[in-house]
C-alpha cells in the first residue's frame, strides 16, 4: 500500500484559510486520496476524497497536483471546531481498507 507523508502539526488562526499538505510520491493510478479528521475523544469522520480532479464539498476542498504525487486539503475559514488530527490516506481502487498514519494535528487559535 502506498504511503503518505504529512507534517506532524500545524497552527492556524480562526477565520483564516488553512492548507494541509500531503505527499504521496508512490501513488498508483488507481489509488484514491481520502481525508478524514478526528476531533478529540471522537472517532474519525470523513472529510473528502478524490482521484484526479480537484473536489469541493461543504466541509473542505481537495486540490490534487497534476502528477498526483501530492495533495492539499483546504479549509476555507478555520473555526475552533476544526481543531483535530487530519489524516491523508490512499486506498487502492477505492477499496475499504484504510491505513491511517500519524496525521497532522491542527490547532486553531482564536
Partner 1 sequence: EAGVAQSPRYKIIEKRQSVAFWCNPISGHATLYWYQQILGQGPKLLIQFQNNGVVDDSQLPKDRFSAERLKGVDSTLKIQPAKLEDSAVYLCASSFHFRGVYEQYFGPGTRLTVT
Select 6 or 12, whichever has its Cβ closest to partner 1.
6
Positive/negative CA dihedral, 60, 73, 50, 94: negative
User: Do the beta carbons of residue 73 and residue 85 sit within 8 Å?
Assistant: no
Cα–Cα distance, 45 to 4 (Å, whole number): 18
Select 46 or 69, whichever has its Cβ closest to partner 1.
46
Q: Catalog residues that contact partner 1 under the rule CB under 8 A.
A: 32, 34, 36, 42-46, 49, 51, 85, 87, 91, 94-103
Smallest distance from partner 1 to CB 25, Å: 20
Select 28 or 102, whichever has its Cβ closest to partner 1.
102
In the structure grid, which three cell numbers stand for residue 62, read together?
481537495
Amino acid at each position: 500500500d502506498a504511503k503518505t507523508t504529512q507534517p506532524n502539526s500545524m497552527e492556524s488562526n480562526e477565520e483564516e484559510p488553512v492548507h494541509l499538505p500531503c505527499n504521496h510520491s508512490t501513488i498508483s493510478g488507481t489509488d484514491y486520496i481520502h481525508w478524514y479528521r478526528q476531533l478529540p475523544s471522537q472517532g474519525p469522520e470523513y472529510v473528502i476524497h478524490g482521484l484526479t480532479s480537484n473536489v469541493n464539498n461543504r466541509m473542505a476542498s481537495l486540490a490534487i497536483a497534476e502528477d498526483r504525487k501530492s495533495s492539499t486539503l483546504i479549509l476555507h475559514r478555520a473555526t475552533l471546531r476544526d481543531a483535530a488530527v487530519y489524516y491523508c490516506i490512499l486506498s487502492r481502487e477505492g477499496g475499504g481498507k484504510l491505513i491511517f498514519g500519524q496525521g497532522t494535528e491542527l490547532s486553531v487559535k482564536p
